[in-house]
Chain A
Amino acid sequence: MPKREEKTDWRFNLGRKEALIGCALAVFNIIWWYGFAYTLGSKPPEEYTYILGFPAWFFFSCVVGFVVMVVLVILVVKLVLVEVPFDDEEVERE
């Protein structure tokens, strides 16, 4: 194997950052999902309140949780992600 130079492609640092954003989104998703489901949902069913027909725990955890994740993903894509070329030739041309 030829010795490679110790130089990091700038696109890789970006990739690493985006991977961490992915992990952060998943952690947030888990906390939101778990938080609503097992607090509001752990009451006895007779004490449940209902929103749009759904039990409140389910409405917040699954329905609102899904919408919140979609909004967050859209925000991340629009505001944080950067478009980079994938082929090496394109990088050298620039």
Chain B
Amino acid sequence: MNWQVLVPLLALLAFIFLIGIWSNRKMQQSSSFLTDYFLGSRELGGLVLAMTMAATYGSASSFLGGPGAAYSIGLGWVLLAMTQVATGYFVLLVLGKKFAIVTRKFKAVTLIDFLKERYESKPVVLLSAFSIVIFLFSAMAAQWIGGAHLIQSITGLSYLGALFIFAIAVLIYVIIGGFRAVAVTDATQGIIMFVGTLVLLIGVIIAGGGIPNIMADLVAENPNLVTPYGHDGSLSAAYVTSFWILVGVGVVGLPQVAVRAMSYRDARSMHRALIIGTIVVGFIMLNMHLIGVFARPVLPGIEAADQVIPLIALETLPPWVAGIVLAAPLAAMMSTVDSLLLLVSSSVVKDVYINYMKPNASYQHVKKVSIGVTAVIGVVVFLMAIDPPDLLIYLNLFAFGGLEAAFIWPIVLGLYWKYANKHGAMASMIVGIGTYIPIYQYNETYGHLLGVHAVTIPVFLSLVAFIVFSLINKREPYYF
């Protein structure tokens, strides 16, 4: 076992526990358990808000899968990854102040609270809760599997042992701390991700003999690696551009991102988060993917894409620095998982249980149920990740695009279009998910329909469905 790498990693975990405990003590002074556990009492400042958005969003894919793809595909994949810079400013500006004001007026704690008040429709609430639980549950399980693999590759433990460590660490601090713990640890993890990226970038450039040298090596190996079209010339402009919808502007429709747009303290925090978020997201995305490309001449012939970042860190950095740097992807996965875990349990407790089963639950009762449900979901994910069923892996493929296709218009038009109503929202969600899955399947078999990513067409179809079904039913303006 490589203790020089392991010690900094363990120190990080210990630090995160301390933050969870601190948040828990703060929570005991607060008056509303629900708002505090699931939203951190809407008190997030600018730095924490920006970091928590970056950390939630930057998951295993930005640290392992993405750089791995850049390693095999070249600069074209870095170009694709840069579509994500938009998430730093777009979500906060578009949902922005109106969403913050309206959700406070509604006393909304979850995204579904907002949809419930806005559309006043039980089917909309139940369908949303159902999609959140199904899609996010599978997205979360996939991250657990990734986290366990990473711990496995660093420590040499068995998969089961690694999964167990990961699960215990996540569960303890989500359960004791709730949203505030998650947000504050996300911020810590965001900072770790930022610093880790910078250190690794410098290490790789030095190992490769400078950027001009690395580029010359890449051109010598395959000139396509430095074009926007990928190593085999197959990355078309239309396909890469359609990622603006999947990972750029469409992120507005992701519940785990939208819920953060209702948690900030005031306009000043939001303004600071805009600047910090754009810098942090852009910096991490640009540099992590560049590291993937630069790793190619330094360490040629890596087969498993997920291994590129761990291997290059161990190769180019002193062991204890590698430990800190590898804490970055682990931090990214943990922070994604903890936010998703909280979101899934808030959907079960707040949106279904309290809304429809026990509206007059007492403070103590809500607290017990929230913590209990969070723990139960965590244990279920753990059990499923031991031997992941095929269905889970299958659903995870759809999670991101499926949620965007379902929620983007009910959120955005619900906020800004006064004629939006429940018929439109229902139609939009059904059309969005209903067309996304078949188109995704079609693209897997026959190549990309119209040359774009599977999420593109459903997003347009669900917009049309939303407008048509809103207008043909009762046309009555809504005022907040």
Contacts and interface: CB of A to CB of B under 8 A. Distances in A.
Interface in B447-480: 477, 479-480
B98 A15 contact: yes
Nearest to B268: A83
Contacts of B96: 15, 18-19, 22
B101 A15 contact: yes
Contacts of A34: 237, 241
Contact of B211 (A16, A25, A53): A53
B58 interface: no
A34 to B, nearest CB: 6
Chain A, interface size category, equals: 35 or more
B274 A86 contact: no
A6 B479 CA distance: 7
A58 B171 CA distance: 42
Interface string A71-94: 001101100011111111000000
Which of B104, B213, B226 has the largest count of A CB atoms less than 10 A from its CB? B226
Given A66-B282, A83-B268, A12 B82 contact: no
Contacts of B215: 50, 53-55
Contact of B480 (A9, A14, A76, A86): A9
Given A65-B82, A69-B85, A77-B275, A57 B97 contact: no
Interface in B147-162: none
B228 A19 contact: no
A73 B275 CA distance: 6
Given A16-B416, A26-B90, A45-B223, A58 B75 contact: yes
B66 to A, nearest CB: 14
Contacts of B249: 26
A61 B223 contact: no
B97 A84 contact: yes
B425 interface: no
Interface in B276-325: 278-279, 282-283, 286
Contacts of B479: 4-8
A53 B248 contact: no
Interface string B98-116: 1111001100000000000
Interface of B: 75, 78-79, 82-83, 85-86, 88-90, 92-101, 104-105, 120, 210-215, 219, 223-224, 226-229, 237, 241, 244, 248-249, 266-268, 271, 274-275, 278-279, 282-283, 286, 416, 477, 479-480
Given A9-B101, A37-B79, A85-B266, 15 more contacts: A11-B101, A15-B101, A19-B416, A29-B85, A29-B86, A38-B228, A45-B219, A53-B213, A61-B79, A73-B274, A77-B275, A83-B271, A86-B266, A87-B104, A88-B105
24 contacts: A5-B479, A8-B479, A16-B416, A18-B93, A25-B86, A25-B93, A30-B241, A37-B237, A38-B228, A41-B227, A42-B228, A45-B226, A48-B226, A55-B226, A58-B79, A58-B228, A61-B82, A63-B286, A73-B88, A77-B271, A83-B266, A83-B268, A84-B97, A86-B97
Interface of A: 1, 4-9, 11-12, 14-16, 18-19, 21-23, 25-26, 29-30, 33-34, 37-38, 41-42, 45-46, 48, 50, 52-55, 57-58, 61-63, 65-66, 69-70, 73-74, 76-77, 81-88
